[in-house]
Amino acid sequence: MILTLALRSLLARPIRSLVLAGGFGFGVAVMAALLGIGGVILDQARAPALIGGGDVVIGGPAGRVQNARFILSSVLANGPLAPRVSSASPATHATLYLIDPRGPALVHGVGSIPSLERSVGVGEARGAANWADSAADREWASPAPADVLRSLDRFHAIPDVPARASSWAEWLYFNGRAAGGRFYLTFIAGPRREAGTRELGIRLQLERDGRLESFSDSIEVSDAALATAPDITAGRNSVRLDGLNYRIKFDLAAEGSKARATGDIVLTATPGRSMPPFELRGAGGWISGYVVPVISGPLSGTIRAGAVTIDLTGGAGYHDHNWGFWDGVRWQWGQVQGGDLSFVYGRVYPPPDAADATRVPGFLVALGPDGPVGYATDVAIEESNDPAANRPREIVVRAQSESVALTMSLDVEQTTATRMRAGRFGAGMDFLQLRAVYKVSGRVGGREIAFTAHGSAETFRGR
């Protein structure tokens, strides 16, 4: 029917029909040409040559790489990308104002390292023969692995946010497993007091023969004592970063008895097996930061609890570092190792006055022997409660990205609950530390994986 009407219209008014058809054709051609030109302009705008040189531009999730030194030394220089990267140059951009008798003038400034700029073919660098690397440039561009590790694990200045100041905390967390047992150890510094001091709490949870014991101490320290972190000393308890070795000592009283636990532990980091720091920021100055200097590393040393000595030789350990304002905050987190791969997943739920928790993504990172092999922010974490208690029985983690298609099923074997008080973490909730059996399957970096292993996890429950 439509074809018949079209033919009759064409025969009745052939000139008008031809003009109309020509007009439509011309409009379509112009639109196609504009789309083609727009695509070329967009590609040119993204071209690394316009920024200065090189073949690829690397950015962070929000546009800026938060730890370029780690990316240069551990990802591009030593990771799986190393054979494909001949040179790389970091640069930072800033807006400056030059003020002279004629008034202010806007200046767009770029900071970079001369030799690295020349290596990627930046024209301005090639034409400035007197622009040379300083000693600080050379040290920054070629850091020793131990220096990178220390920079990842430094403590942070407390932001000037009076409304949230009472909930600031920063801590070093270690866990490890060996044939004789498992341990969970935290050095946590609280908010600054009026006298300029801070409370440093040390807590050990020791698992052996199916029993979990807790030991702790609390010591008042100065800000200066934390300025050298991760090197910390509090009474008989200390952490020292010696090269790539974390040397940890403690002498703690049992919670609820007169027993004591002492330890002399060494956790060794492996270059490239770290997760760089990232921060979440929200309204009212809220901030939450996280870094994993040691996703997996060999353990040695001993822990003595009463008459029992646990030899950690041959065991494996983990170390992360957290900082931020924690009032009203909760999270989900987990960590496991299978074969030559290590996995960390998590999600932070900020307080309602800081951000919409539904819009804060989770993350999952997979690291191999040479560095990161997969990363995803499309992560779902589902918890199923034990019908007899307000505790998780099973957790299922699903992650999807170009490099990861993974499912983790956690069967919870043991739960330790800590009641949280006002101003700390999830006030009015129980903080749950879990020991679980992970069943992991899927694809990571083009490689099919399937394994079962013990790991750790954390979550919260309302009372």
The whole-model pTM stands at: 0.78
pLDDT value, residue 423:
47
Retrieve residue 459's tokens.
């979550």
Residue-wise pLDDT for 5-41, tens only, equals 666 666 666 666 666 666 666 666 667 666 666 565 5
Query: DSSP readout, 251-273?
Result: EEEETTSS-EEEEEEEEE--TT-
Position 230 confidence tier, pLDDT thresholds 50, 70, 90 = very high
User: Residue 338 above 80 pLDDT?
Assistant: yes
174 versus 74: which is more confidently predicted? 174
pLDDT value, residue 25:
66
pLDDT value, residue 77:
65
The H or E element that residue 213 is part of is strand 211-222
Position 439 confidence tier, pLDDT thresholds 50, 70, 90 = very high
If we measure between CA atoms, which residue out of 151, 385, 183, 169 comes closest to residue 267? 183
Residue with tokens 């905390």: 169
Q: Which of helix, strand or coil describes residue 17?
A: helix
pLDDT value, residue 74:
66
Supply the mean pLDDT for the chain.
83
User: Residue 175 above 80 pLDDT?
Assistant: yes
Residue-wise pLDDT for 370-385, tens only, equals 777 888 999 999 999 8
If we measure between CA atoms, which residue out of 376, 435, 383, 384 comes closest to residue 406? 376
- 216 forms beta bridges with 203, 253
Q: Which of helix, strand or coil describes residue 163?
A: coil
pLDDT value, residue 347:
94
275 versus 238: which is more confidently predicted? 238
- Cβ pair 235, 249 in contact under 8 A: no
b or e along 45-56 (b: 16 or more beta carbons within 10 Å of the residue's beta carbon)?
Answer: eeeeeeebbbee
Position 394 confidence tier, pLDDT thresholds 50, 70, 90 = very high
- Cβ pair 236, 249 in contact under 8 A: yes
- Cβ pair 425, 431 in contact under 8 A: yes
pLDDT value, residue 427:
52
Retrieve residue 283's tokens.
């309204």
Domain 149-325, CATH among 3.90.700.10, 3.30.420.40, 2.40.370.10, 2.60.40.2550: 2.40.370.10
Domain 326-463 adopts which CATH fold? Answer: Porin (2.40.160)
- Cβ pair 166, 443 in contact under 8 A: no
Q: Which of helix, strand or coil describes residue 316?
A: strand
User: Residue 141 above 80 pLDDT?
Assistant: no
Residue range 415-419: average pLDDT? 80
How many angstroms separate the CA atoms of 65 and 63, rounded?
7
User: Residue 333 above 50 pLDDT?
Assistant: yes
Q: Which of helix, strand or coil describes residue 435?
A: strand
Q: Where are the domains of the chain?
A: 19-47, 52-128, 149-325, 326-463
Residue-wise pLDDT for 274-319, tens only, equals 888 888 999 999 999 999 999 889 999 999 998 889 999 999 999 9
How many angstroms separate the CA atoms of 191 and 324, rounded?
10
pLDDT value, residue 142:
77
